[in-house]
Homo-oligomer: A and B are copies of this chain.
Amino acid sequence: MPAPHDASKQNAIDMAAARAKTSINVSTLRDFLYNGAAQWQKRERVSNILVSDPLFNKSQRPFLTRKELYIRGQALTNRLYELAENHKWTPEDVQLAFGVVSDEVLSINLHNIAFEPVFLLQASPELLSQYGDLIAKRGILGCYLQTELGHGTNVGRLETTATYIPETQEFELHSPTLTSTKWWIGALGKTSTHGVVQAKLILPGGKDVGPHLFFVQLRDTETHQPLPGRILGDIGPKAMGAYAATDNGFARFTHVRIPKSHMLSKFAGVTDEGKYVTPPHAKLSYGGMLYIRSGMVTAAGWLGAKAATVAIRYATVRRQGTLDPASGLESQVITYPSLHARLLPILARAYVFIELGRALSRSFDALARDLSSGNTSQLAEMHVMTSGLKTLVTTASIQDVETARRSMGGHGYSAFAGLGKLYADYVPSATYEGENYVLDQQVLRAGLKTFNLIFSNPALASASPADKAKLATRLPGTSRYLRLLLDPSLCPPDCIIHPADDVVGTAISLLEWRAAALVKEAAQTQKDGTPDATATQRVAKAVTEAFVGGTREVRVVEKVYVLYLLTTLESALVDLLSFGLYVPPKTEAAGDPARGLRLAIGQFCKELLPEAIGLTDAFGYSDWDLDSALGVHDGRVYEALWARAQDEPLNQTEVTEAYEASIKPMMLRGRRAAGASAKL
């Protein structure tokens, strides 16, 4: 390996200089992001233990086959719990540890996040006492079998059947068709011993009462062989080599009998005779899904944080193009507006999503308290909120990771840059836990429902302004924008965004007016039967962005929040312009009304620029966390790329085995054809 040279020294100098320029207190902000200094230190303790264990080393990971990655993933899981035992980690410590290894996509997550919560929430007390502790301690390993080869999001159309047999007090699970094969089930392929299966409950006489949950043993707990009547396996590799450590699997059931007690019957059941017992609080079972979706908001924030850290660090030390008069060197690429205008909004969204996720998890805790006392009044609002946010944050963060990767030019395409793996592992989030297009429909439906409830109410016409104002205050968070339509004295701000204005107030107001205009139009076109193909997405986005913009808790670092608002407005320009919500001030000559907004964004980016490294350092990621040659803390990116390339398996022999096999014969033929001798 060649000795470090000037450029690498310069890398380190540039990074140190950028760090010195930051005016924010990095450790204070970091502690805040991690819920306080104590939590940060806890994470550090756990993280240090993992990092110093050779099993968790990532350097050879890019060279492993999928099978090796699966086997490694199981070894990591086993070791993590061993460490938890050795170090007497609390459940919270264990959760922190899983956060630290989140880029390993371990299949145990399906046990912890899908199988166990569903079981705990819906199992009968008897089943719970029999298996609850075994599941909690991972004495058995589970998965959650919902999706089938033929159907996913649309649960009502699942084909797997569970037929009740009163004679033996059993259910018979069966996969009647190829398309009823359970498919995509995480941890089913080669790992799980048990599972919770979604199947249509068929009563004696043949009545189908729709999908219910059944606890089923899949593999022998001693030999790990599939039990009779179960055909089990892995569904094969995922796109772009992603999610390799997770064994998404398939299962076909052939007349598999399970005891009646293995139905998860807390909210629905069957009498011994086979009479269906209607669930009293069926909606209570939705809680789990909402929990997963609200967790996805936080996760999207931290993912964006990783992408922003890597790309901003690389852009800080990479010098290209025009000469910087101060140093006589080429300019740091982060100084180019075309580059930092791409990266700083990613940073801003990361901050907003992290804080939004925190606010959401507080709302979720409140909801869980309500639900446990049978109060479902907030469920619908929470459902709309998490549906809209899940789509918003996953769509944005997928794009952000790719924008960050592409901002790094050619080297961004190296596996060692790290962002390719992040992208490939994250991109299915647009589809899982509710397909984004389907969730958008639910946001639209809820928006229209509230709109029609208010504005189709004949009493509204004669309501007094005071009554309307009272009604406005009662609107739930995701519908607050509708108050704008209740007060005829209100009108959209007609000022152009300008740094001297009340930027925050104007921006939030514009986002709300946009939501109101779009929902109003959607109500009209729905009545006319003429919605267009993209209306659903535009309405859902508008409603959700109005909600996020007005969420007080996301206002942590002022300039970051403003940049978030302005770039959100910029992405909403088509709506704003087409509804006449965004027009040039009367004093200005005709011109591009979007220009003021774009210049304001440029101005805020410029002001944020000296804080960029500090704001990313505050995310607290170590080099081990990032696993990126371009995102190294000390900035020595070229040395890191060089070092990592030396590990490539093709480099372990000077002459490739393809030489004798293929390259040499090809060249010899060529030399013959060219009339040259074999030896040149």
Contacts and interface: CB of A to CB of B under 8 A. Distances in A.
Interface in A313-354: 320-321, 330, 337-338, 340-341
A67 interface: yes
B665 A239 contact: no
Interface string A196-226: 0000000000000000000000000111111
A646 B536 contact: no
A610 B650 CA distance: 50
B415 A536 contact: no
B241 A241 contact: yes
19 contacts: A2-B178, A7-B177, A63-B237, A77-B666, A133-B675, A133-B676, A134-B676, A138-B667, A139-B673, A154-B320, A183-B641, A191-B658, A221-B667, A233-B650, A234-B651, A236-B415, A340-B533, A424-B424, A532-B601
A664 interface: yes
A614 B582 CA distance: 44
Task: Give the interface centre of A6, A154, A423, A574 by most chain B CB atoms within 10 Å.
Answer: A574
Contacts of A409: 152-153, 431, 435
Interface in A8-45: 8
Given A237-B63, A239-B417, A670 B638 contact: no
Contact of A650 (B67, B340, B532, B595): B67
A410 B233 contact: no
A322 to B, nearest CB: 10
A237 B415 contact: yes
Task: Give the interface centre of A154, A240, A414 by most chain B CB atoms within 10 Å.
Answer: A240
A321 B340 CA distance: 43
Contacts of A598: 532-535
Interface string A632-673: 000000110110111111110011111101111111011111
Given A78-B662, A133-B674, 11 more contacts: A70-B650, A74-B661, A75-B658, A133-B676, A149-B638, A222-B680, A234-B651, A235-B641, A239-B412, A406-B430, A410-B431
A602 interface: yes
A223 B193 CA distance: 54
Contact of A81 (B410, B655, B669): B669
A672 B139 CA distance: 8
A236 B647 contact: yes
Contacts of A8: 178-179
B410 A152 contact: yes
A381 B471 CA distance: 63
A592 interface: yes
A181 B642 contact: yes
Given A181-B642, A638-B179, A593 B573 contact: no
A530 interface: yes
B638 A178 contact: yes
Nearest to A217: B680
A415 B65 CA distance: 14
A75 to B, nearest CB: 5
A18 to B, nearest CB: 19
A321 B156 CA distance: 9
A137 interface: yes
Contacts of A579: 592
A233 B651 CA distance: 6
Nearest to A337: B533
B140 A667 contact: yes
Contact of A226 (B2, B189, B641, B654): B654
The 10 closest A-B pairs by CB, nearest first: A239-B420, A341-B533, A241-B241, A139-B670, A139-B671, A240-B240, A577-B577, A532-B598, A138-B670, A74-B658
A65 to B, nearest CB: 5
Contacts of A651: 233-234
A85 B580 CA distance: 68
A370 interface: no
A224 B647 contact: no
A479 interface: no
Nearest to A153: B409
B410 A654 contact: no
Task: Give the interface centre of A63, A66, A223, A239 by most chain B CB atoms within 10 Å.
Answer: A239
Per assembly, the copies of the chain total 2
B236 A150 contact: no
A250 interface: yes
Contacts of A233: 645-646, 648, 650-651
A247 interface: yes
A293 interface: no
Given A138-B667, A659-B224, A670-B134, A639 B178 contact: yes
A5 interface: yes
Interface string A145-174: 001011111100100000000000000000
Contacts of A280: none
B594 A574 contact: yes
Contact of A189 (B405, B437, B650, B664): B650
Contacts of A181: 2, 642
A590 B580 contact: yes
Contact of A137 (B252, B321, B674): B674
B420 A240 contact: yes
A590 to B, nearest CB: 7
B74 A238 contact: no
A580 B590 CA distance: 9
Interface string A54-71: 000000001101110011
A483 interface: no
B674 A592 contact: no
B573 A136 contact: no
A533 B221 contact: no
Nearest to A657: B71
A472 to B, nearest CB: 24
Contacts of A240: 240-242, 415, 420-421, 423-424
A663 B141 contact: yes
Contacts of A92: none
A473 interface: no
A570 B247 CA distance: 42
